[in-house]
């Protein structure tokens, strides 16, 4: 789904499910494989977006190699995580010494403001 389409649909509110992801050991990989990591992170981002958006996720923030995604329901978030892990596993990451994505899912109430989310639920998933 294009970002323009995602921006037009209503954002999930109330009880929502968050999926936060990042690349395991990315700091070390950047130090060892600087040039290769530039391409690997761009490919990681492209590979991740499709399963996240296919399951109705809204990427509300990216920080480095991390995605912060909100879903209307927990089953959508869990299926997106499974699909994203499969997509990552299907790629050859040997140029950066392998690549694994960590993922955390948490459901609860959250406040949305200007396309970003706040509150204890967001804080909790960020710590998982």
pTM comes to: 0.88
Confirm whether 12 is domain-assigned.
Answer: no
Write out the H or E segment, with its range, that includes residue 82.
helix 74-89
Domain that holds residue 84: 23-127
Along the 128 residues of the chain, how does pLDDT read in single tens digits?
444 444 567 889 899 999 999 999 999 999 999 999 999 999 999 999 999 999 999 999 999 999 999 999 999 999 999 999 999 999 999 999 899 999 999 999 999 999 899 999 998 998 87
Sorted by sequence, the CB contacts under 8 Å of residue 128 that are 6+ apart come out as 20, 104, 105, 106
Confirm whether 53 is domain-assigned.
Answer: yes
Tokens for 61? 């923030």
Q: How many structural domains comprise the chain?
A: 1
Nearest to 65 by CA among 93, 95, 105, 30: 30
Q: Is 121 exposed, middle or buried (0-12, 13-18, 19+ CB in 10 A)?
A: buried
CATH code of the domain containing 77: 3.30.70.1230
Confirm whether 17 is domain-assigned.
Answer: no
- Measured between alpha carbons, how far is 65 from 118 in angstroms, rounded to an integer? 20
């Amino acid at each position: 789904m294009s970002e323009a389409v995602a921006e037009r649909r209503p954002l999930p509110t109330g009880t929502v499910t968050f999926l936060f992801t990042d690349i395991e050991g990315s700091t070390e990989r950047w130090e060892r494989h600087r040039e290769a990591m530039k391409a690997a992170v761009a490919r990681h981002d492209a590979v991740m977006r499709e399963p996240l958006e296919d399951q109705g996720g809204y990427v509300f923030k990216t920080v480095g190699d991390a995605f912060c995604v909100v879903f209307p329901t927990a089953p959508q978030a869990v299926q997106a995580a499974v699909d994203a892990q499969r997509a990552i596993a299907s790629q050859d990451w040997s140029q950066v010494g392998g690549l694994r994505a960590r993922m955390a899912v948490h459901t609860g109430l959250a406040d949305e403001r200007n396309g970003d989310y706040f509150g204890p639920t967001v804080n909790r998933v960020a710590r998982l």
